[in-house]
């Protein structure tokens, strides 16, 4: 199995009660799209969920992540303002992989998205908004990380 996810732009810009009004909406949109693209690429490298297209749900996954973790939503806003530069209609990015998130923040996003996608994969009626925080997260620092957990399969 492979998994990881990304972030939507429009829903995160509109309807977010943690909206930082000082952040340029275009920068925020670009930042969230970058995170969505990069996280989706990582998910595809580490998870293979037959018939589940990560791109179909990434917007909802990122919106829900931002809602569940308001401090991370504020961090994303700050990083968008710092790492996205727009001059003369040209976009420049500063920061690198995952748009400047620290390794621990990257692990946190990935771990959350992995849990969401695994839960989504197992549902008959796909719904992104439930089943989280009910015990351990089985990926200590996200799939593909050198610290991923191991153990015996439980039937």
pLDDT digits 0-9 by tens, 118-150: 888 888 888 776 666 555 555 555 545 554 555
Number of CB atoms found within 10 A of residue 151's CB? 6
Distance of CA 100 to CAs 5, 31, 117, 121, 154, Å? 16, 10, 24, 29, 38
Strand partners, 99: none
CB 66 within 8 A of CB 76: yes
Q: Which tens digits make up the pLDDT trace of 57-101?
A: 998 899 889 988 999 999 999 999 999 988 888 988 887 667 788
Residue 116 has pLDDT above 60, yes or no: yes
Q: What is the predicted pLDDT for the residue at 81?
A: 92
Distance of CA 99 to the CA centre of its chain: 12
So what's the pLDDT on residue 8? Answer: 33
């Amino acid at each position: 199995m492979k998994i990881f996810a990304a972030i939507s732009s429009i829903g995160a810009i509109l309807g977010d009660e943690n909206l930082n009004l000082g952040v340029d909406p275009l920068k925020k949109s670009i930042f969230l799209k970058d995170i969505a693209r990069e996280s989706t690429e990582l998910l595809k490298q580490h998870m293979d969920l037959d018939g589940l297209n990560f791109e179909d749900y990434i917007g909802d996954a990122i919106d829900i992540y931002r809602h569940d973790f308001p401090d991370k939503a504020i961090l994303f806003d700050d990083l968008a303002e710092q790492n996205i530069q727009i001059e003369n209609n040209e976009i420049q990015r500063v920061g690198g992989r995952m748009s400047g998130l620290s390794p621990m923040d990257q692990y946190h996003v990935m771990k959350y998205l992995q849990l969401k996608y695994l839960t989504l994969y197992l549902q008959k009626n796909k719904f992104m908004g439930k089943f989280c925080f009910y015990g351990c997260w089985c990926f200590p620092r996200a799939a593909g990380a050198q610290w991923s957990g191991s153990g015996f399969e439980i039937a």
